Amino acid sequence: MTSAVVEADGLSKQFGTVSAVAGFNLILNKGEMLCLVGPDGAGKSTTVRMLSGIVRPTSGTARVFGYDLLREADRIKKRIGYMSQGFTLYGDLTVDENIEFFAEIHEVKDYQGKREELLAFTRLEPFRKRLAEKLSGGMKQKMSLACTLIHTPNLLLLDEPTTGVDAVSRREFWAILRSLLETGITILMTSPYMDEAERADRVALMDRGSIVVVDTPSGIRARMKRTIIELICDDNRRAAAALKGLPEVLDVQAFGDKLHLVMSGTDRDVPALERRLIESGIRMEKWRPVPPSLENVFIFLTRKTGREP
C-alpha cells in the first residue's frame, strides 16, 4: 500500500499560448511538508490550484489520496484544506464569524468545540470578536489557517501563506505548521523565500513551469560541488561585470551588499580575482568561502540549464 498522498504525472496547464505549468511530476508522502519554491511566474500557484480542484489541468494526471483529480474531485475536496495567496476572508465579519461561516460551508456540525481549539492553537482567542479587516497581516493569515482547518483536512495546500507578513509572524506561523505535522497532517506549500524552504522536509525548486530538482534541503545543497566565495567590494556592480569574464568564475550572484562567486576551482583562485579587480580600479574589502545555500544552487541550476552543478 502506497503512503503517497499526492501523485502527479505530467501535470500541465496552458492559458492560451502561455504554458504556466509544463510536465509537473511529484510524489508527496503522508505526514511530510514539501515546499515549492521559485520566482514569480514559475507555476507554483497554478500547480496548487490544480491539485485543489480549482483549475482544471490541460493535460497530465494526478491522484490525491488515491482519487483521480478529474473524475473524483468531490471526494478529494472533502479531505483537503486550501489557503489561497493573499487574504480572501470577510473583513466585515469577526474572527468567530469567519470560522463559523467556513464551518457551515464544509457542513461541519457542532463546530464550536473545534473553533475553540483552533482559536487557542493559533493564539487568536483574545481577538475573536475583532473584525477581520482590523487584524494585522500575521493575524489575518492565522485566521485564514483556522478557517482552512475547521473541517479537519488531511492535506493542507498553502499558497505563499507568509508573504507580506513580518518576521515574527512568519516564525509563529511556521511553529503552527510544525505542530500540525505532529498530528499526521500532510502539507504542500509554496513560498518565494528560500530561507523558509530550509524548514521543509523536502523542497521542489520550480522554474518556468516545471521542477528543476526535488530533494531534502541538505540534499539540494550537496549538489553544489563547487566553492562559493563571498566578496564585498567598493563597487559590486562593476566588480560583477569585471569578474564574469574570468575562467575561474562560473557564476556571479548578487546578495544585497555582497557578491557570491561560484568557482570552478578553490579559494586558491582568489588572487586572480583580486588582480582583475585591481586592474578594473575596484577595491576588494573582504572575502571568505561560504557554504552553498539553496538560493546559490537554484540560481546556478536555472542559469546553467541542463548542467549539473
Q: Please say whether the beta carbons of 262 and 300 come within 8 A.
A: yes
> In the prediction, which pLDDT does 164 show?
78
Give residue 88's pLDDT.
74
Question: pTM of this prediction?
Answer: 0.88
Long-range pairs of 77-81 with CB within 8 A, sequence gap ≥ 24: 77/52, 77/53, 78/151, 79/153, 79/154, 79/155, 80/52, 80/153, 80/154, 80/155, 80/156, 80/157, 81/148, 81/149, 81/151, 81/153, 81/155, 81/156, 81/157
Taking the C-alpha atoms of residue 284 and residue 48, their distance in angstroms, rounded to an integer, is 45
The candidate with the shortest Cα–Cα distance to 184, out of 214, 150, 146, 153, is: 153
pLDDT in tens, the chain (309 residues): 458 999 999 999 999 999 999 999 999 999 999 999 988 889 999 999 999 999 999 999 999 999 999 999 999 999 999 999 876 788 999 999 999 999 999 999 999 999 999 999 999 999 999 999 999 989 999 999 999 999 999 999 999 998 878 888 888 888 899 999 999 999 999 998 888 889 999 999 999 899 999 999 999 999 888 899 999 999 999 999 999 989 999 999 999 899 999 998 887 889 999 999 999 999 999 999 999 999 999 888 887 644 444
The Cα-based distances of 171 to 87, 126, 166 in angstroms read 19, 20, 9
Task: Give ranges for CATH 3.30.70.100 in the chain.
Answer: 225-291
Number of neighbouring beta carbons within 10 Å of residue 102:
22
- Cα 212 from Cα 204, distance rounded (Å): 7
Strand 33-37 versus strand 186-191 pairing type: parallel
pLDDT of residue 2: 57
CA nearest 177: which of 151, 204, 196, 205? 196
**Residue 308: what pLDDT?**
45
- pLDDT of res. 115: 95
Close Cβ partners of 104 (under 8 Å, ≥ 6 residues apart): none
Question: What's the pLDDT score for residue 304?
Answer: 60
Of 261, 258, 251, which is closest to residue 236 (Cα–Cα)? 258
Domain with CATH 3.40.50.300 in the chain: 4-215
Fold of domain 225-291 = Alpha-Beta Plaits (3.30.70)
pLDDT of residue 307: 40
Given a contact cutoff of 8 angstroms between Cβ atoms, the answer to whether 180 and 27 are in contact is no
Q: What is the CATH T-level fold of the domain 4-215, as seen in this structure? A: Rossmann fold (3.40.50)
Q: Tell me the Ramachandran region of residue 160: left when phi exceeds 0, alpha when psi lies from -120 to 50, beta otherwise.
A: left
